[in-house]
Chain A
């Protein structure tokens, strides 16, 4: 059953009257009949965790907002830029009202003045569609003053980024929205605190998929949501599958479904029948790569189980590679991404990604030495944990984990003599 990708089940759910006929704004109505604190408690009880990658409990995040502050904001992270991620796009293209309803419930729970939806710049047509939805909602009293007769006022706006992965990092996103360079901020203060959020006001920043779950939780109840998935990973998750499978695409399945079920039953198995799967990146370019062994294939896709196999489920952007793929090339591809997307603020990330890229190119060209492999591992380890945001850690991951799991893929490119070999 789809909770999020309902555009696949219900024709024209992106029309407001159709959305309303299929339970649209019933969750919002229930929320408005509760106190804001009660709404937060329902979301806490549901076990919903952030779907942008970090997996932080959503209700707990909302409860950090100081209630006494007069001005608060909700910012929707629709910057979807992680390599291999294309789930928020389908939610917003095919089921846009559910995202807006979820955002409004969040706004009511923290008594926000306004919601800003920060879209990656390439999503300008999705932005146009959301703007039309916002106008339709305003005309029917779901947005603006005295929402649904409740006495609560809230506005919703869209904002387009302009091509910068870093703006998916919440403090960089807030800087970008304020018209500054999209670079991360020093924390504390955190976005939820006065001084740390949008326009220095307390702000919740949530991912699109996270918020799209909220109407279901309010309407069907925390227990219904918690009944799906595993003990620590409740609900459905949209898994974006790309790379060497027969049927790449989005699959909405309960958390805790195994990688094997996803990759074989849903995504159709290896693209080329005669080849075996070699490795996957379960969380786009930023999470640790793992070999696709039987043990990994039988692992349930949950926050807790993925930790046991040395990786993360993160945003569940699952990039699959078959046995023909050279992991040195993969490390190079992902490093080029992070080199391009490093915002330049922190020295270890700015300089580290630059040098990693140069040395991996040398290795791939056959001009590297075994010392170069040790060198890039050393550079990567010195980047991790030394930057203001996680991009520095993300950029270290592809190096550290490809070398750890696939040392032979690097060894085949280097000779003891290096450039003279």
Chain B
């Protein structure tokens, strides 16, 4: 599919364009739409966003590259971002992050062979009183330990197998 002409996004794109004084201001929300459509911010998405906003694709690409929440390569079905910043680390987040990579058999930033999970560490997510914690596809999962995490991994695998992931 595409973003342009896709009825799924038509209203949202229109409302973002109406919010701002300039078209260019809509580049960030439109990049999120591109990521939603393609699973990552791929060259097609960059070109379409540029076309909608009358920008050069290079300008759009520079914005996508500046921010960490736009992914410039494909990720696993579940993108796990573990906060290992100081407050979380004081509550064992570094060990938790190392254990999780080990459990899934991936290196930092890597994706499991079945393309199910990507694991990486991120900076403070404003959940310091609920450490260890992570974001799974930008949804907060807090107060974690190894048992709870094993349960979640099993649940997500089952959801994916049932097509509900």
Q: Which residues of A contact B (CB under 8 A)?
A: 80-86, 88-89, 120-125, 157, 159-165, 176-182, 199, 240-244, 248-250, 281, 285, 317, 319, 321, 325, 330, 333-334, 337, 340-341, 343
Contacts and interface: CB of A to CB of B under 8 A. Distances in A.
Interface string B102-140: 000000000000000000001111111101000100111
Interface in B68-111: 68-70, 85-87, 89-91
B86 A160 contact: no
Contact of B129 (A160, A162, A249): A249
A325 B90 CA distance: 8
Contact of A160 (B28, B62, B89): B28
A89 B124 CA distance: 13
A160 B32 contact: yes
B157 interface: no
A134 to B, nearest CB: 11
A182 B66 contact: yes
B86 to A, nearest CB: 5
24 contacts: A80-B126, A81-B123, A81-B126, A84-B86, A84-B128, A89-B126, A122-B140, A123-B126, A161-B67, A161-B69, A162-B31, A162-B32, A164-B67, A178-B22, A182-B66, A240-B129, A242-B87, A243-B86, A248-B129, A281-B86, A321-B90, A330-B86, A340-B123, A343-B66
Contacts of A83: 85-87, 123-124, 128
B19 interface: yes
Contacts of A244: 90
Contact of B124 (A84, A157, A162): A84
Contact of B87 (A178, A199, A243): A243
Contacts of B125: 122
Most chain A beta carbons < 10 A, residue from B19, B90, B135 = B90
A314 to B, nearest CB: 14
B86 A334 contact: yes
Contact of A182 (B21, B53, B67): B67
B133 to A, nearest CB: 11
A387 B139 CA distance: 35
Interface of B: 19-22, 24-29, 31-32, 53, 62-63, 66-70, 85-87, 89-91, 122-129, 131, 135, 138-140
A176 B28 contact: yes
A181 B123 contact: no
A160 B22 contact: no
Given A160-B28, A241-B129, A337-B85, 8 more contacts: A122-B138, A124-B138, A162-B70, A176-B28, A180-B63, A319-B86, A337-B86, A337-B124
Nearest to A85: B126
A148 to B, nearest CB: 23
Contacts of A334: 86
A137 to B, nearest CB: 16
A122 B124 CA distance: 11
A250 B129 contact: yes
Contact of A179 (B27, B90, B128, B138): B27
A362 B89 CA distance: 20
A85 B90 CA distance: 15
Nearest to A244: B90
B90 A341 contact: no
Nearest to B129: A248
Contact of B67 (A157, A162, A243, A340): A162
Contacts of A243: 86-87, 90-91, 128
A80 B21 CA distance: 25
Contacts of A159: 19, 25, 28-29
B162 to A, nearest CB: 24
Contacts of A165: 123
A121 B66 contact: no
A343 to B, nearest CB: 8
A181 B90 contact: no
B124 A81 contact: yes
Contact of B28 (A81, A85, A179, A325): A179
Contact of B22 (A199, A242, A340): A199
A164 B66 contact: yes
Contacts of A281: 86
Q: Nearest 9 CB-CB pairs, A to B?
A: A162-B67, A163-B68, A242-B128, A179-B24, A242-B87, A248-B129, A163-B69, A162-B69, A179-B27
B68 A162 contact: yes
A321 B91 CA distance: 10
Contact of B25 (A179, A333, A341): A179
Nearest to B62: A181
